[in-house]
Chain A
Amino acid sequence: MSSESEKKMVEKKPEDSKPTTAKATEKPAAKPAAKKPVPAKTPPKEEPELPAFEKGIGDKIIEKFGDQTAVSFVKPDRVGIKVNRESIHDVAEFARDVLNYDHVDSVAGVDYPVDKEIEVVYHLSSYTDPTLSRQILELATRAQREDEPIPGNDATKLPSLRDVFYSVEFHEREVFEMLGVYFEGHPDNRRLLLPEDWADLPPLRKDFRNKGR
C-alpha cells in the first residue's frame, strides 16, 4: 500500500518540478532516468526503482564511513541513515562540510523499550545549496536504555552535535528532559519545558503512563 503511493509520488515529480525556478532543474534531470514505473502485474516482492539523487547521497555516506552506518530508507526527497553512536559526530561534520547541509530542522527522541534502546533522530536540511532545497537527511543513532533512569548520571549518553550544528541547542535540551538522554559536550543540559520540580520518570518514555491510561 505504501509502495504504491511512493510510486505515485515518484511519477509525479517531472510534472510538478517544471514551474519551479531554473536553479532546481539540474536535480530533476537525474530523476526521469530513474522513472521507470514497475508494472503492477509483476509479483509484489519486486522493489520500485530508488530515486537516483537521494540514493547518491546515501551512497556517499556509506562509502566514507563503511560499516558504522547503514541506509534505512531512500524515498523521494528523504534519505534515512542509521549511524553508530561513536561516529555520529563525524557523520554530522561530513554532512555539513561535504554535503552542504547547514542546519537541523528537528531532533526527535523515540523510545524502544523492547530493544532496550532510545533512538535520537536528527533531520538535516539546507538553505544555501539549491540542489538540496527539497531534501531532508535523517540521521538516527541509538543510545542504551536503562530501566531505572537517573538522567545525567547513567549510561544513556550520546555525543552532542551542538558544535557542528548550533541550531540543536534547545532541541537537545528538550530530548534530555523528555527522555533522559544526556548529551556530552552540550554546555547547558538543563530543563526547558517541564516544571522545575519534576522528579518523576522522563515523560516520553513508554513506561511513563498518562493519568488513567
Chain B
Amino acid sequence: MSTPTLPPGLAIQKADERIMTLNVGPQHPGSGHMRIIVQIDGDYIVACDPDPGYVHRGEEKMAEYRNYVLNIPHLERPVIHDSCNILYPYVLGAEELLGLEITERAKYVRVIASELNRCVYTMYWLAIYGIFLGHSTMFMWPAGDRELLIDLLEKMTGARVTHSYFIPGGIRNDLPANFEDVCLRQVNYFEKRIKEYADVFYDNPILLSRTEKTGILTRENAIRLGTTGSVLRASGVDYDVRKKEPYDVYDELDFQTNVMKSGDSYARSRIPWLDMMESCRIIRDALQKMPKSGSVRVKLKPNPKGAIGSVYKRIESGRGALGCYIVSDKKAEPYRVKLSVPSFRNLIALPHLLIGEKLGNMPSVYWSLNYWPVEADR
C-alpha cells in the first residue's frame, strides 16, 4: 500500500496500536484546575502524569517583598474558603519570631473560626465530589447548607470567604454581641442536616458500588508516600496534628479523630464527613469554655522586625497537615516563606492509585484525595 501524499506541514507518525494518550485537561468537568495526562489501554489506565501549575501565582516569592502583616491577604488566597487554616501556621510562626503572646480569648476564637472553616471547606469539597459522580442532589445540599456557616463567618469577620481574620498578635476584631447563641443554634441545625447525608449519599448503593474497593491505598504506602489528612486516616493511620502536637487550646477541648481501615475511595470520602461532626462538638465545647471578655489583639509596632532564625509550625486543616517554614533575618520582610500544603503532599498518591484503574473511576479516585488544585500550586 503506498503512503498517501500529505499537505505540507503534516507528517505521519506511527502510534502505538493499543495505548492512547488523553489530556484530562484544564477544561474538563472532572479535573478541576489542573491537567492529568493519562495513557489508556482500552479502558484501563497504564500511565499517569499529573500536570499542576495552572494556578501557580508565585505566593512564596511575593511574600519576600511584603512585611509580616501585608502578607496576610495574599497568603490566604490559595484556599479562599479555608483561609483561616492556611494562615494559621504562618501566624503562629510570625508570633514566635516577633515574640508575641496572645490572649486566651483570642485562642478560643481562633479555634472556633478554624473549625468553621474546616466545615465550610469540606462541604464545598463534598459538593464537587457529588457533581463529579453525577449526583447533583449532593451538589445542591452541601452547597446550600454551607451557607449557614458562611453567615456565621460573615458575622465574625465581615467577609464570606478570604476572611483575613488571623493576624500576628491575635485576631482582627472581637466577636459581635450575642454571637454565642446564634452560633450554637446554627451549629446544632447544621449537625442535624449533615446527619441526613447518610441517607442520600453514604448509604446510596450506587455510590457504594462506584467507590468501594477502588483506589485502595494500603497503610504502608500511605506512610511511605507521606500522605496526610483524611487520605492517611482512611488507610488506618491515626495521626492528627490537633491531637499529636496541640496548638492554641486544642489540648483543652474534647474530641476524637476518626480512622477507617479500608483505604478505598469510600473511606476517603467518609472521613471528612465524620470529622465535620467532631468539629461541631469542638465549636460547642469552645463556646462554653471561652473566657467571656478580654482583649483579642496585641498591639503591634509599625513594621515589626522578626528575630534571626527559622521556625516551622504546623496545623491540621480541612485537607491535612499544613506547615509553614519561615526564615527571618531581622528585617520587616521575611527572608523566605515556604508553605507545605497537604494537597501537594497528597499529589504523589495520584499516579500511584490511578494505574490499573478504569478510566471511568478516575474522577472518584482523584477527587477523593481531598485535593484542592489552587492550594497545591500556591
Q: Which residues of A contact B (CB under 8 A)?
A: 1-2, 4-5, 8, 16-17, 19-20, 73, 77-78, 80, 102-106, 108, 110-111, 121, 123, 127-128, 133-134, 136, 138, 165-167, 169-171, 174, 191-195, 203-204, 208, 210, 213
Partner of A167, one of B226, B251, B336: B226
Complex: A193 Cα to B55 Cα, angstroms? 9
Are the CB atoms of B224 and A20 closer together than 8 Å?
no
Band of interface residues on B: 35 or more
Is B61 a contact of A204 with CB atoms below 8 Å? yes
Tell whether, in the assembled complex, residue B327 and residue A105 are in contact, meaning their CB atoms are under 8 Å apart: no
Q: In the bound complex, do residue B224 and residue A195 qualify as a contact, i.e. CB atoms below 8 Å apart?
A: no
User: Are the CB atoms of B52 and A108 closer together than 8 Å?
Assistant: no
Q: Bound complex: CA of A193 vs CA of B321, how far in Å?
A: 21
In the complex, are the beta carbons of B325 and A123 less than 8 A apart? yes
Q: Is there contact, CB below 8 Å, between A103 and B226? A: yes
Bound: A134/B61 CA distance, A = 29
B62 touches which of A17, A127, A210 (Cβ 8 Å)? A210
Could you name 14 residue pairs across A and B whose Cβ atoms are closer than 8 Å? Answer: A1-B307, A2-B96, A2-B99, A8-B101, A73-B309, A104-B226, A105-B314, A106-B338, A108-B325, A108-B338, A123-B312, A193-B53, A203-B58, A208-B61
CB distance from A198 to the nearest CB of B (A): 10
Contact assessment for A105 and B307 in the assembled complex, using a CB-CB cutoff below 8 Å = no
CB-defined contacts of B348 to chain A, threshold 8 Å: 166-167, 169-170
Contacts of B56 in A (CB 8 A): 193-194
C-alpha gap A133/B61 in the complex (Å): 31
Q: In residues 312-337 of chain B, which contact A (Cβ within 8 Å)?
A: 312, 314, 321, 323, 325, 327, 335-336
Number of A-B contacts (CB under 8 A): 106
Mask of B353-377 contacts with A, CB within 8 angstroms, 1/0: 0000000000000000000000001
A195 to B377, CA, bound (A): 12
Q: Does B18 contact A (CB under 8 A)?
A: no
Contacts of A193 in B (CB 8 A): 52-53, 56, 377
In the complex formed, the residue of A with least CB distance to B221 is A166
Residue of B225, B226, B345 with highest tally of chain A CB at under 10 A:
B226
Residues of B with C-beta under 8 A to A108: 325, 336, 338, 340
- Tell yes or no: B60 within 8 A of A by CB: yes
- Whether A136 lies near B312 (C-beta < 8 A) is yes
**B340 contact set on A, CB distance < 8 A:** 105-106, 108, 123
B232 at interface by CB-CB < 8 Å: yes
Chain A, Cβ-Cβ closest to B254 = A19
Query: Which one, A73, A134, A192, A194, contacts B245 given CB within 8 A?
Result: A134
- Complex formed: what's the CA distance from A77 to B327 in Å? 18
**How far, in angstroms, from A174 to B344 measured CA to CA in the complex?**
10
Complex: how many Å from CA A194 to CA B57?
10
The minimal Cβ–Cβ distance linking B82 to chain A, given in whole angstroms, is 19
Other-chain residue from A105, A169, A208 in contact with B323 (beta carbon distance below 8 A): A105
- Whether A195 pairs with B53 at a CB distance below 8 angstroms is yes
A20-B101 in contact (CB<8A): no
Residue B213 at the chain A interface, CB threshold 8 Å: no
In contact, A167 and B225 (Cβ under 8 angstroms): yes
Closest-by-CB residue of A relative to B376 is A193
Interface residue B237 (Cβ < 8 Å from any Cβ of A): yes
Query: Complex Cα distance A210/B60, Å?
Result: 11
Which residue of chain B is the closest to A16 with respect to CB atoms? B251
Q: Name the CB-closest residue of A to B244.
A: A133
10 closest A-B pairs by beta carbon, nearest first, are A167-B226, A106-B340, A103-B226, A193-B53, A1-B99, A108-B338, A133-B244, A16-B251, A193-B56, A2-B307
With A20-B243, A133-B239, A194-B56 as contacts: A102 and B61 at CB distance below 8 Å: no
- Expressed in whole angstroms, the minimum distance between the Cβ of B50 and any Cβ of chain A is 9
Contacts of B321 in A (CB 8 A): 105
